[in-house]
Amino acid sequence: MQLSQALRRHLGSMLLLAGPILVSQYAYLASGMADTVMSGMLGTVFQAGVAVGAAVWVPVQMFITGVLYSVMIVVSQHFGAERHGDIVASARQGLWLALLLGVAASALLYLLAPHLTLFGVTEDVADKAREYLQYLVWGLPFSSMAIGVRFYCDGQKNVVPATVIAIIVVLVNICLNYCLMFGKLGLPAMDVAGCGLATGISMALSFVFFLFYVQKSPRYRSHRLFASLAAPARKQMKGLAGVGLPIGIAMVSEFLVLSVIALCISTSGATSIAAHQIAYNFMMILFAIPTSLAMATSIMVGNARGSGSRTAERGVVLTSVCAGLVAGGLLTVLMWLGAEPVAQLYSHDRAVIALASQLLVVAAFFQLVDAVQICLNGSLRGIEDTVVPFFITSGIYWLLALPLGYVLSGMPLPFGLRASFPGYGVVGWWIALVLGIFLVALALAARVRRQFFSTPIEEEEEADGNKGCAEKAASSIMNTDESQHEVNTGAQVDEAQTGRRKRICALLAGLPGTIRRHPKKSMAACFLLVLLLASSSSEENGAVRVHSMETVAISTLRQEFPVTGIIKPEEGAEVKTGSRFTGVIDRLHVRLGDSVKKGQVIAELDNREQEAECVRLNATIRKLRAELDMAQKTYPLQIRETQALLDSARAEHAYAQKKLRRVNNLHRAAAVSKDEAERVRQEADVAAAATRQQKSARERLEEEFTLRTIYLAEAIAEAEAELATANIRRSYATIVSPMDGVVSEITAQEGETLVAGLQVAYLITVLDPSRLELQMFVDENDIGRVQPGTRVAFTVESFRDRVFEGHVDLIHPGPEIRNNIVYYRALVRLSPETALTLRPEMTARCNVIVGEKENVLCVPNTAFKWIRNRKVVFVEDTAGVRPVLVRTGIEGLTHTEVLEGLEEGQRVATSLDLPTPLPEEWLKVLEEAPQEARDS
C-alpha cells in the first residue's frame, strides 16, 4: 500500500481516536496537579506528604494500566473480527484481573504506608503521606475495574465516554478536595487525609460512571457485560496477563530508570537537578501526544488483525509512523525554539535557565525519536507482540543508556579509572538517553518490519505486487506530491520530479544495506551525531562562556555549619482551649487573628441541656428539704401520741394487776368463782400486751424518724453535689481565653457540633506571638561544637533578604533519631521584636557560627573548580580568563580564605562553561604548578 493511500484511509480515524485519548490524559494530569496545588495551601509538609504518596501509588497505577492494556488489545481484535461473544467474555475476565490487581495493590500500599521512613522520608512528611495513602488505597480496586471497562470501550473504537468521564471525575475530585481538605459544607477538615479520601472517592465514581454508561448505552445493551459475571477462567486470565505484564513492567522500568538518573544528578548540585527537573517535566507534558497516537495505533492494528486484513495493518503502521514523525518534529521545533522561554517559566535563576535551555534542546531530539518509537511500540502491541519489545527497551535503557550516561556525565569511575574527557555533567545523561532511545527506535523498527512487512501479500487495490520498503516509502512521498499537483493544476509529473523520485529511492534503498554491512561504523556515526547535536546546543566547542564574576576582597570570614530549624512557640506560649462536653457551638466571639485578653469570653456552646439539669436538681433539692421539714414536724407528733397511748395502756395494765390481785385473794377465800378469777387474769394479760404494743410502736416511730431524717439529709447533700457538678459542666459551655494573645486557630464554626470523647475537644488556639523560639536539629557530629550562648544566624523563606540572629539557650539532653541519624535539639530564644516578625512552623535555614576570622582574603566557593584533581580558580585577564592554582585556609559556607595565588581586587569567575577539550596551555599550567598548590 502506498503511503498516500494509507494516510487517506487511516489518518482521519487515527486522529479521531487519539484526540479524545489525549484529552483524557491531560485530565488525569490536571487531577494530580490539583492535589499538589491544593495540598500546598495547607503547608509545605502537607504538600510534601502528598508528593511522596503520589510517588508511591502512581507507579503502581502505571503497572496496573500496563497490565490491563491487554484488555484493549484483545477486545480490539475481537471487534475487528466481529466476535461479539468473545468481546464480552474477554472483558469479563479482564475485570476479574483488574479486581485482583486492585486488591493486591491496595493491600501492598496499605502495608507499605507506615514504613515510608525506611526510604529516607522524614517523619513529619511520612506521617502526612501515610494519612494520604491509607484513605486513597480503598479506591484502587474501583480504579482498576474502571480502567478495565475503559479499555473495553476503547477497544471498540469508542473513546469519547472515557474522555467525558475523566473530565467529570477531575471536577468532582477538585470539589471533594476543597470540602474534605478544608472542612467546607459541614464536612470535617481532614487535611491530606481528605485529599486521599477525595481521590479514592473519585476513583470509585469513575467505575460507577463507566458501569452506568455500559448498562444504559444502546451500543452495549445487547452485550449485557454485568448481567452475569462468569467465574474467573484461569486460561483466559493467564493469556491477558501474558500480554499485559511486559507492558506494565516496561512502564515501571522506564520510570525507575529516570528515577535513578535523577538520583545521580542530585549529587551534582541544586542547579543541575533543577535544570533536569525542568526538562523532564516539560517533556512529560508533551509525552502525552505521541502516547495518544500509540494507543490509537494499538486499537486500529488490533481491529485490522482481527479482521484478517494485512493490508489494513500495514496501512495503519505506516500512518502511525508518519503521524509520529510529524508530531515529534513539531514538538522538537517547539522545544528547540522555545527552550529558553520555557526555562524562564520554571525558574528565575540565570544558571538554571542556561543549563535547562541546553537540556531542552537535547530533549528535543529525544522527543523526535521517542515519538516514533512509541508509535512503533503501539503497532507491535496491537498484535500482542509485547515480550520482545520489553526486553529491547529495558535492555537498552539499563545496560547501555544508564552506564553510558554515568560515564558521559563525569561521575567517578570505579577501580581508580579516569575518563579521557572532563564530562558533560547533566547534559551527558541526556545525551545517553537520546542515544538509547535512538537505538530502541532502530530495534523496534526492525521488529515492525519483520512482523508486518517481511512476507509479501496480495492486495486487490495494488497492481504492483511486491516492492521494497524503501521504494514504497519514496514512491508514496512522490505519489502524494503528484496527487496534490493533479488536484491543483491537473498537470502530469514532470521529468524533474521523476529524477528526484529515483534519487530518493536509491538513497532509502541503500541505507539499510549500509547499516547491515557496517553496523559498528553506523553506531559510531549515530553516537557522534548525537554528541554534535548536544554540543551545538551550547556554546562553540573551543570558547569559554562566563556567566558571572566576583571581585576578590578582604573581609571577615565566619566558620560555621548549616543546620535546619523550625520556629515554634515557647512552652506555655500556645494554649488550645476547648470544652469537656459535647454540644453545638452557639456563638463564636472571635475570629482568626483577633487579639484577646485573659479571661475574655471567646466562645459559647449551647448549654440548654445543662441548664435543664440544674433546674431539675434544684427542684429535687427543694423537694427533699420539704420532705425533711415535714418529717421533722409530723414524726414528733406521732411519737407523742404513741407515748400517750403507752401511758394509758400502762395505767390500764396497773389497774388490771391490782384487780387481779384482789380477785385472787377473794378466790382463795371462796368469795368469787373460778371463772371470774380467770376472766380478770385474762384482762390483766390483755392490758400487759397492749402496753408492750404501744411501747413497740413508739420505739418504731422513733427509729423511723431517725432513719428518715438521715436519709433525707444525705439525699439533699447528694443533690447539692450533683448541682455543683452540673454548674461546673454548665461553665464548660463558656470558653474563656487562658492568656493574652491572638487567636491562631479555630477548628469549627457556629452551628457545628463539638464532640468530646476521652480528651478535651479543642476549639480555639490562643498564641502569644511575642514568645517564639527556634528549634534547631543538630547532627551528633556537630553537637560538640554547640554550647549555650553560641551565636546563630538564620533566614526564612518569607524574608529571604533578612538575616535574624540569636543565641543558643538550651540543648535538650535527649536525642532524636530520624532515618537512623541522631540529632539533638538546640533552642534559640527569640526577642519579642523578632518573634512578632516571624510565624510558628516556619522552616529556618540556620548557620551556627563557631568561629570568626577578620581581615582575610575571601573568594566565593562557587569560583573553585576541580580539574584533574586540582583546585583551580579562573581569573579575569586581557584574553578572557585563565586558570590559577591557589592555596586555601578556612572554609565558610559561601567563601573560602585564600592564602596564596590571588590578590585583592582581582576578578574571578563564579559561573562559567569550560571548553572541551581544555586548552593545552591550561593543562601545561596545571602540570607545572608546585606540589603544594596541587595538594591544596
pLDDT tens digit string along 173-207? 999 999 998 888 888 888 889 999 999 999 999 99
**Taking 80 as the threshold, does the pLDDT of residue 321 lie above it?**
yes
pLDDT digits (tens, 9 = 90+) for 540-573: 444 577 777 888 899 888 888 888 899 999 988 8
Q: What is the rounded average pLDDT of the residues 900-916?
A: 81
406 shares a domain with 318: yes
595 forms beta bridges with: 742
Q: Is the pLDDT of residue 494 over 70?
A: no
With cell 532515618, the residue in question is 819
Query: Cα(823)–Cα(507) distance, rounded to whole angstroms?
Result: 68
Is residue 510 included in any domain, yes or no? yes
| Residues constituting the chain | 936
Look at 370-384, 480-494, 779-793 and tell me which has the smallest mean pLDDT: 480-494
CA pair distance 292, 19, nearest whole angstrom: 7
pLDDT grade for 268, boundaries at 50, 70 and 90 = low
Q: How far apart are CA 117 and CA 121, in angstroms?
A: 5
CA atoms of 644 and 650, how far apart (whole Å): 10
Residues 115 and 208 grouped into a single domain: yes
Q: Is the pLDDT of residue 105 over 90?
A: yes
Of the candidates 199, 347, 255, which has an alpha carbon nearest to the alpha carbon of residue 60? 255
**Per-residue cell: 51:** 508528593
Q: Which residues contact 417 (CB under 8 A, 6 or more apart)?
A: none
In whole angstroms, give the CA distance from residue 711 to residue 624: 10
Task: Clarify whether residues 188 and 270 are in a common domain.
Answer: no
pLDDT at 478 over 70: no
**What sign has the CA pseudo-torsion 251, 252, 256, 257?**
negative
Neighbours of 412 (CB within 10 A): 10
Least confident of 6-10, 236-240, 912-916: 912-916
Give the 3-state secondary structure of residue 393.
helix
Q: Where are the beta strands (DSSP E) in 861-906?
A: 864-867, 870-877, 880-885, 887-891, 895-900
Please name the residues in contact with 78: beta carbons below 8 A apart, sequence gap of 6 or more: 84, 86, 87, 90, 155, 306
Give residue 99's pLDDT: 94
Cα distance between residue 454 and residue 163, in whole Å: 37
Assess contact for 358 and 319: CB atoms under 8 A. Answer: no
Residue 43, class by beta-carbon neighbours within 10 Å (0-12 exposed, 13-18 middle, 19+ buried)?
A: middle
Same domain, 559 and 641: no
Examine the domain organization and report whether 788 and 830 are in the same domain: yes
Residue 238, in any domain of the structure = no
**Which pLDDT score, from 0 to 100, does residue 562 have?**
85
Contact criterion met (CB below 8 Å) for 421 and 868? no
Question: Is position 5 within any domain?
Answer: no
User: Which of 721, 750, 767 is the endpoint of a domain?
Assistant: 767
pLDDT for 300 equals 94
Written in H, E and C, the secondary structure of 562-607 is EEEEEEEECCCCEEEEEECCCEEEEEECCCCCCEECCCCEEEEECC
Q: Is 897 helix (H, G, I), strand (E, B) or coil?
A: strand
Q: Output the CA torsion sign for 205, 211, 212, 214.
A: positive
Question: Is residue 190 domain-shared with residue 160, that is, in the same domain?
Answer: yes
Angle (CA) 869-870-874 rounded to 5° is 135
Residue 485 is assigned to a structural domain of this protein: yes
Whether 573 contacts 585, CB under 8 Å: no
For the chain, how far is it from start to end, CA to CA, in angstroms? 70
Residues 255 and 361 both lie in one domain: yes
| Structural domain containing residue 397 | 244-464
Res 665: pLDDT: 87
- pLDDT for 144 equals 95
Grid coordinates belonging to 671 = 368469795
Q: Give the residues across from 746 on adjacent strands.
A: 764
pLDDT tens digits, residue range 11-44? 899 999 999 999 999 998 899 888 888 888 887 7
Three-class SS state of 480:
helix
| Whether residue 864 is found in the same domain as residue 785 | yes
Mean pLDDT, residues 891-908 = 86
In a domain, 311, yes or no: yes
Residue 931 has pLDDT above 90, yes or no: no
Q: What total of structural domains would you count in the chain?
A: 6
Do 592 and 621 lie in a common domain? Answer: no
Look up cell 480490539; give the residue: 76
Domain boundary among 708, 732, 756: 732
Q: Which of 182, 212, 232 is the C-terminal boundary of a domain?
A: 232
Q: 851: left (phi > 0), else alpha (psi -120 to 50), else beta?
A: beta
- What is the C-alpha separation between 212 and 121, in angstroms, rounded? 41
Tell me which DSSP letter residue 550 carries.
E
Confidence band, pLDDT 50/70/90 cuts, at residue 9? confident
Radius of gyration of the chain (CA): 45
In a domain, 543, yes or no: no
Write the single-letter amino acid at 469: C
- In tens, the pLDDT along 760-793 reads 567 889 999 999 999 999 988 888 889 999 999 9
Q: Would 881 be classed as within a structural domain?
A: yes
Q: Compute the average pLDDT of residues 293-314.
A: 91
Question: Which amino acid appears at position 173 of this protein?
Answer: N
Residues 33-61 have a mean pLDDT of: 86
Q: Which residues pair with 843 in a beta bridge?
A: 566
Rounded Cα gap, residues 383 and 2, in angstroms: 22
Same domain, yes or no: 313 and 445: yes
Q: Is 211 contained in some domain?
A: yes
Mean pLDDT of 238-255: 92
Give the residues across from 900 on adjacent strands. 887
Domain with 580 in it: what CATH number? 2.40.50.100
**Once rounded to an integer, what is the mean pLDDT over residues 899-905?**
87
- What's the average model confidence in pLDDT over 436-441? 93
The chain-wide mean pLDDT, for the chain, equals 83
User: Can you give the pLDDT at residue 422?
Assistant: 53
- CATH number, domain with residue 908: 2.40.30.170
Q: How many helices (H) and strands (E) does the chain have?
A: 24, 21
Task: Looking at the structure, tell me whether residues 390 and 443 fall in a common domain.
Answer: yes
* Residue 618: band (very low, low, confident or very high) from pLDDT cuts 50, 70, 90: very high
Beta bridge partners of 574: 767
Q: Are 445 and 486 contained in the same domain?
A: no
DSSP 760: -
Alpha carbon distance 82, 679 (integer Å): 127
Give the 3-state secondary structure of residue 822. Answer: strand
